[in-house]
Amino acid sequence: MQVTQLPVHWNIERILDDLDEHGFTLIDAAYSEQYQHAVVGECLQHLQQFRQAAIQNGVVSDIRSDHILWLGPEFTIADQHSQTLLALAQQLNRAFYLGIKDVEAHFACYNAGEFYALHRDNPQGKNGRMISSVYYLHQTWQDDFGGQLRLQDKHGNWHIIQPQPNRIALFQSDLLHEVLPAQQQRLSITAWLRSDHSML
């Protein structure tokens, strides 16, 4: 994966300080409107290819009801986001010695009523996921649309993060979190910064 440069308006010091202090951070107005519009278009273009995330090897889980589509370099617009996260990983490695080597990502769609119950992306260090991220794609959003990220920070305090358009939420993959039921279609790119190489 080609490493790109971080957007110049990202406040890297604040991102690092937030992650160090609380275990999570938010990046608002992450990208240009042109990029946001383009990546939403790419997502919507492939919406028919999404599959139920709850079905793994034919087994249905009741912990989640969203739909996903794993991303690769053929998704040229979304891959720019993955490249940006990989550039951010270099900063995180220098600051926290995380040893991040790769990014895995998928589009996610939460239709009305869909959710993801409380879980950790890397429970007790069982996989290589170090930092989780959610980039919210939809063009407009209102608080009563639901779909919020409910997250417990590293001190045990709970936070409700609104899925505002063009916002990136970054958090430690071992933190407990959930996606509250959506009332409107909610689109995002979920990605993990890994200390091993993705099997995708």
CA proximity to 50, closest of 34, 69, 37, 32: 69
Q: What are phi and psi of 69, to 5 degrees?
A: -145, 115
Q: Retrieve residue 159's tokens.
A: 């936070």
- In this model, does residue 190 exceed pLDDT 80? yes
Instruction: Determine which helix (DSSP H) or strand (DSSP E) holds 67, and give its type and residue range.
Output: strand 67-70
Q: pLDDT at position 23, please? A: 98
Structure tokens at 41: 């278009």
Please say whether the dihedral angle defined by the alpha carbons of residues 65, 71, 77 and 80, taken in this order, is positive or negative.
Answer: positive
**Stated length of the chain:** 200
Per-residue pLDDT for 199 more than 70?
Answer: no
Whole-model pTM: value is: 0.94
What does the domain layout of the chain look like in residue ranges? 12-194
Predicted pLDDT at 48: 95
Three-state SS for 67-88 is EEEECCCCCHHHHHHHHHHHHH
Q: What is the pLDDT of residue 54?
A: 73
Rounded to an integer, what distance in angstroms lies between the CA atom of residue 12 and that of residue 1? 22
pLDDT at residue 153 in the model: 98
Task: Write out pLDDT tens, residues 39-97.
Answer: 999 999 999 999 988 766 555 577 898 999 999 999 999 999 999 999 999 999 999 99
Closest CA to 61 of 116, 130, 1: 116
Distance, CA of 80 to CA of 93 (rounded, Å): 20
Does the pLDDT at position 1 exceed 60?
no
Residue 7 pLDDT more than 60? yes
Per-residue pLDDT of 125-181, as tens digits, reads 889 999 999 999 988 899 999 999 999 999 999 999 999 999 999 999 999 999 999
Dump pLDDT digits (tens) for 101-125.
Answer: 999 999 999 999 999 999 999 988 8
pLDDT attached to residue 200: 52
Residue that has been written with the tokens 């009563």 in this structure: 144
Is the domain covering 12-194 a CATH 3.55.40.20 domain? no
Query: Residue 5 has what pLDDT?
Result: 85
Residue 16 host element (H or E):
helix 12-22
